[in-house]
Structure 1
């Protein structure tokens, strides 16, 4: 279909029942991963601590809320430090909350990482370190390996974010250029016990990919990281390339004795969030189907594929009949080639809309559960059957916006963005498609 207007429509239509359902599902997904609910059941008992101390450390967009959950549930003495994204702090009385930059790190994050390492030095065997980790921790703990600088880490992060590499690939590179990730934080806690509680924001829920695995062993190598840099043609600082080529950035490997007393528990996952959303859909009378909680790939490609599935459901009743809701999670990527601001959820949604071409029975929402899509203080956006027509009426060409990686500009102009503010959790991307029968 040509990329031009068919009918003039209002720029800001009233919220439909479908859009309201989409937002309720997203809110339920976020609520299911709130630290106040998912952290307390995994805490040790004071009796298990014995005569040792409890030291709380952590990093990530949810770490401050996790720390508050620990304080509210723990009756005995404790102390500690966690670092979270600017604006994601939660008041705590016994655990210090530091804030730093994400996704490009800053000096505040570097200082906080140094303080974390100092805090866990000199511990005893009867001490327990409770480590609270969630998505975003990689950027919030930017302590560089010897020979590298914070500026090197900043340049690397910018290059990785634009490269199209998967989150697993990006974190593989990060682990081998860090003084704290890739198991090094846990090694610094030795001989104390370490219990790590994780809120997963990565496809597959692999602990070594959540905040680049500061307390878990890493089987990957410098050679693996260097291969990723070469595969995507990532322009890295000379010192970064030299460290990877020398092999001196090796992380802590499985079987290392310093990690023998470490335990890891995942307390919230993307799958749990999708199941919470599915329950909301079913209560509203829509059968819900989860397509996957770990979908990856270019956001525009994933959007086009979802459009194909949605059309098949709407027009053929396959593989399931309408009405229904299709849900998916994971973490797509955007290889930024245009002048837009990227944002994988808005890029997915714009590609979905371009492929659907205003299908009259399909509505959708795509948003990041942490409230930030890419580097924008916008969680995502909503798509309706009239979205493209309203864009055309404003002189906006959807295909051009997609080619320019300008999903944020596109949905902002229509007033269709989803803005939540800090959600204080992070279980990755959330995508929902409502398909009506008539």
Structure 2
């Protein structure tokens, strides 16, 4: 890769792979393990990175290990000593419930001398699903689907999930008492809040049941009577910060979006590009964020921005999509579709947006790549980008243009990765 004649698409894809590699458990997990690795440990966990985390743990833990983790369908890999269950994501299913029950059974009746290692990563909230008393799995599935389409933030979604669960929101941590509990987490949420990552199964929860009910009302979602009754019941409250029952818990974040973005920025700088890091906690509607980023890119291209071309704008976090149409796609594809709609073929501006877990929405792609000729190529194939954006239909368009980024499951997850490349002399 050289700055004189760069291959923009190859550069953007290379930066994405750098970001993903930086968050791989094989690279980071061992540094966070206890010094004494000959002791016996019970291993539990949930998330898209669960198997890769366990695989690394098994390599670096000579002592006895037993336990169970749950990951998404298609994300498992062979393990030596720990059992794996695959379950539903982003909507929980019967296997999610089964995994949660089995994990709670494993941690029951532990003593103060026992050690539990809990491995948590993005996706864990759906994969580890046990409805609270009086609530059915079908009720939780319906609420989850409605929230995912409503435009609610991941923090709002997880506040609801925690208070409808018998295992999340710190309740798994309580179940491990009085054992020593070490949680190792790969963060996929803005701000890296332990209470939000996978809905915080082992972390104290500052949110309240009344807040969860208010979120459902805010988005005008249909609320089953059983859920309303539960959220109004004081028993539905989660353990709060300072709860003495969680005093034996040690929580460590081993990888995050910030680490991955910083690694990508270093790679870009080494290739001779100026970099602008907008943050690892970008949120909001995908199309709104795209419009803001397009305005910034256009200003830079005209020479009036905070950095000069050739440059790369990097950002992470988790945007949302309020589903209005019946199209297919994910938040990264929607971001790129909205970016294309704003840039309208401006020369010299390229972009990539993808989820570091390898799955954008419910498709088989991590995201997609945008080039200056995307707008024209789409028109030549009879696509109207504005109309497809209104229909939330990014996947078919980028598939037709052969611009999907398909990686398969990466077995890690530090949320979205976005990069905009701006080359010199992009305007007349």
Q: TM-score range by the shorter chain?
A: over 0.9
- Verify: 1:217 aligned to 2:207, yes or no: no
What is the deviation of 1:47?
Answer: 6.2
1:405 match: secondary structure: coil
- The aligned counterpart of 1:235 is 222
What is the deviation of 1:245?
Answer: 2.6
Alignment coverage as a number of residue pairs: 421
What is the deviation of 1:242?
Answer: 2.1
2:166 match: secondary structure: coil
* Alignment RMSD (CA, Å): 1.3
2:45 match: secondary structure: strand
Q: Deviations over 1:378-435 (max 9, x none)?
A: 1100000000100000000000000111111221111100011010000000000000
On the 8 A contact 1:187/1:258 being kept in 2, the answer is yes
Where do 5+ consecutive residues of structure 2 fail to align?
1-5
What is the deviation of 1:48?
Answer: 8.4
- Verify: 1:406 aligned to 2:396, yes or no: no
Which deviates further from its counterpart, 297-306 or 407-416? 407-416
- The aligned counterpart of 1:420 is 407
Of 32, 35, 41, 1:42 maps to 32
On the 8 A contact 1:155/1:236 being kept in 2, the answer is no
Q: Deviations over 1:284-324 (max 9, x none)?
A: 21122211100000000000000000001110241111110
- The aligned counterpart of 2:3 is none
- Verify: 1:19 aligned to 2:9, yes or no: yes
What is the deviation of 1:246?
Answer: 2.8
1:236 match: secondary structure: coil
- The aligned counterpart of 1:160 is 147
On the 8 A contact 1:60/1:84 being kept in 2, the answer is yes
- Verify: 1:100 aligned to 2:90, yes or no: no
- The aligned counterpart of 1:363 is 350
On the 8 A contact 2:23/2:256 being kept in 1, the answer is yes
On the 8 A contact 2:300/2:306 being kept in 1, the answer is yes
Kindly tell me: are residues 250 and 329 of structure 1, through their superposed partners in 2, closer, same or farther at Cα, counting changes over 3 Å? same
Give the Cα separation in 2 of the matches to 1:44 and 1:404: 50
- The aligned counterpart of 1:12 is none
Q: Deviations over 1:256-289 (max 9, x none)?
A: 2220100100000000110111122112211222
What is the deviation of 1:248?
Answer: 3.2
- Verify: 1:298 aligned to 2:285, yes or no: yes
1:316 match: secondary structure: coil
- The aligned counterpart of 1:259 is 246
TM-score of the aligned structures, taking structure 1 as reference length: 0.94
Give the Cα separation in 2 of the matches to 1:389 and 1:237: 48
- The aligned counterpart of 1:344 is 331
What is the deviation of 1:375?
Answer: 1.4
On the 8 A contact 1:289/1:326 being kept in 2, the answer is yes
TM-score of the aligned structures, taking structure 2 as reference length: 0.96
Give the Cα separation in 2 of the matches to 1:55 and 1:246: 33
On the 8 A contact 1:336/1:342 being kept in 2, the answer is no
Give the Cα separation in 2 of the matches to 1:234 and 1:247: 22
On the 8 A contact 2:173/2:181 being kept in 1, the answer is yes
Matches within 5 A, 1:190-339: 190-339=177-326
Where do 5+ consecutive residues of structure 1 fail to align?
1-15
- The aligned counterpart of 1:140 is 127
Give the Cα separation in 2 of the matches to 1:425 and 1:58: 14
- The aligned counterpart of 1:433 is 420
Which deviates further from its counterpart, 133-142 or 227-236? 227-236
